């Protein structure tokens, strides 16, 4: 088939690579978000998908909105058979959805209908799921509600951050997306409607969502930190300033600390929760670089009775 691939961040690159490498289909063009300011100089930088497409000599389209007339005209001229999508980042209007013969097929990082929305991996970790996966489905105008072509499953490990899990799913899902294109092309794969039961939603995680509540159990604190790492980054308050929590570890054997209470040892920093303690392993104070929590604690000289949290 002739394909137009839509995607933007680094997590979409493995799927683009898999389609280029398959040799069975032609990636005629890539659609991605416009260049965005990045770094201290805030200079405009192309998306990871745009950079990879340019390396491969593939035409890159960067519409401000996918309903822009110039973009739609070019899309119709290319006349793709199908448009595979991974984390493109913009809502596709009906006028664009109708262009390819076989529609737009999205690789979504959950086992649909679970965790429809922008942050499925983060929410699956924060909810304590043991299994997740990726799904390919035909995009409709509803939120991740279209019929599903295929899935792969992935175990969520007890130490996984959303970054760890998303990386594994990006590579597992790239094979699924390539296989989905093959099945659509040869007619062996049919999309199956999603069940009406088991629907959960995964809206974007905000900075406010990433604030740790020490009045919740240790398991919840651990899941919030892992689910919000690397972005937007879990945090708490110490002496009126934000302290980013990069890595923590539950300590079930310690139950003597009140929620938010700090206990500093020679090489350890423990914090109380509603159940048992959490050990801070890596933190980042405001305006500082990431550091081991024990080094941070020595530097700030935590006094008796000091706590974390609002």
Binding residues: 110-113
Q: How far apart are CA 26 and CA 56, in angstroms?
A: 12
Residue 115 CA to residue 7 CA, distance in Å, equals: 20
Q: How far apart are CA 50 and CA 72, in angstroms?
A: 19
Tokens of residue 294, six digits? 């024990």
Q: Which of these, 134, 28, 144, 35, lies nearest to 83 by C-alpha position?
A: 28
> How big, in percent rounded to 5, are the helix, strand and coil portions of the chain?
25, 30, 45
CA distances from 217 to 131, 256, 306 (A): 22, 14, 20
Nearest to 247 by CA among 238, 259, 256, 234: 234
For residue 59, give the nearest of 78, 81, 72, 45 by alpha carbon: 78
Query: Could you give the 3-state DSSP secondary structure of residue 60?
Result: strand
Contact present, 211 and 109 (Cβ < 8 Å)? no
Binding residue positions for (6S)-5,6,7,8-tetrahydrofolate:
110-113
């Amino acid at each position: 088939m002739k394909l137009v691939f839509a995607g933007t961040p680094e997590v979409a690159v493995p799927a683009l690579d898999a389609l280029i490498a398959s040799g069975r289909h032609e990636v005629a063009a890539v659609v991605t978000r416009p260049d965005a300011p990045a770094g201290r100089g805030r200079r405009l930088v192309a998306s990871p998908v745009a950079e990879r497409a340019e390396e491969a000599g593939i035409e890159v389209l960067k519409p401000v909105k996918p309903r822009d007339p110039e973009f739609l005209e070019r899309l119709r001229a290319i006349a793709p058979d199908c448009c595979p999508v991974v984390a493109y980042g913009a809502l596709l209007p009906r006028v664009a959805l109708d262009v390819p013969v076989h529609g737009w097929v999205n690789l979504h990082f959950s086992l649909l209908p679970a965790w429809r929305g922008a942050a499925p991996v983060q929410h699956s970790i924060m909810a304590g799921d043991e299994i997740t996966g990726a799904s390919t489905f035909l995009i409709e105008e509803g939120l991740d509600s279209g019929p599903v072509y295929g899935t792969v499953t992935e175990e969520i490990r007890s130490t996984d951050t959303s970054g760890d899990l998303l990386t594994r799913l990006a590579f597992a899902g790239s094979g699924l997306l390539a296989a989905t294109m093959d099945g659509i092309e040869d007619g062996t794969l049919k999309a199956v409607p999603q069940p009406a039961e088991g629907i959960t939603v995964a809206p974007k995680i905000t900075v406010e969502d990433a604030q740790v509540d020490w009045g919740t159990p240790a398991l919840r604190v651990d899941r919030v930190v892992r689910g919000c790492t690397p972005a937007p980054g879990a945090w708490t308050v110490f002496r009126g300033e934000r302290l980013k929590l990069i890595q923590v570890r539950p300590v079930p054997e310690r139950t003597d600390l009140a929620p938010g209470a700090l206990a500093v040892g020679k090489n350890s920093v423990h914090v109380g929760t509603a159940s048992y303690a959490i050990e801070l392993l890596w933190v980042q104070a405001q305006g500082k670089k990431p550091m081991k929590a024990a080094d941070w604690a020595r530097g700030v000289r935590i006094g008796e009775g000091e706590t974390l949290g609002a």
